[in-house]
Copies of this chain bind each other. A is one copy, B any other.
Amino acid sequence: MSVRPEPSQNHLLAALSPEVQGRLFPHLELVPLPLRAVLYESGRAMRHVYFPTDSIVSLQYVMESGESTAILVVGNEGLLGITLFMGGESTPSRSLVQSAGYAYRLPRARVKEEFQRHGQLLVLMLRYTQALITQIAQTAVCNRHHSIDQQLCRWLLLSMDRLSHNHLTMTQEFIASMLGVRREGVTQAALKLRELGAISYGRGSIRVLDRAKLEALSCECYEVVKKETDLLLPYLPQRQLIKDAGSIPVVKL
């Protein structure tokens, strides 16, 4: 987090043609996203679209009772605020920073202006939206049918995919509120994963030791979403992107 991130660390921004980038990038604003910051509150008007570079943001629905569930995880593969493209001004969800980092943001007016051109940004957004629908739907299925153990694995994998290291800074309490389960349930699941050597952890920090084990223990939901997303948005995987940030291929539109 000490190095100033580049816009192109966000896969969607990177996938735009130089022409579109030329129009948009001057209006980008780099914002630090501290842990637990709230980008959008349920029902409030959105003023920007956010493109995370190295942060992770979760969308949660909060119930009247205070219970909540995360339905979506967004990192440098995507963006927050598709509602602005869609024609709404707000959603019934809350966006919460799940892993601190940076994001570039674009004012609502600029987004709409570029969108009106019906060019690359539109096409990219639509594809991204499709991927996002798949992730939300799979979350619904997962909530219905799978154990906390499996869902914790899925959650860790989703987070790992959006980071360049294997180290998560979050408490079990926080994960519990994201999964919409009790903290004790997460503790039990984490203990099992630790015994199996898949992770290690302590006081608000989790390290993934054996990714393959997590994948094996996770339900199919993770894999289904990943496959579908890769199909819709055939970017380079993140590691290659970072190594060779100068030659990011443009998504075939």
> A interface vs B, CB < 8 Å?
59, 61, 63-65, 67, 69, 71-72, 82-83, 85-88, 91-93, 118, 122-123, 126-127, 129-130, 132-134, 136-141, 143-145, 180-181, 220, 224, 228, 231-232
Contact = CB atoms under 8 A, between A and B. Distances in A.
Contacts of A92: 134, 138, 224, 228
Contacts of A87: 123, 126-127, 130, 232
Interface residue SS majority, chain A: helix
Contacts of A64: 220
A82 B130 CA distance: 9
B145 A144 contact: no
A61 B134 CA distance: 10
A118 B121 CA distance: 13
24 contacts: A61-B138, A61-B140, A63-B145, A64-B220, A67-B144, A67-B145, A69-B140, A69-B141, A69-B145, A86-B127, A86-B129, A87-B127, A87-B130, A87-B232, A88-B127, A91-B130, A92-B134, A93-B137, A132-B133, A133-B133, A133-B136, A139-B140, A141-B143, A145-B180
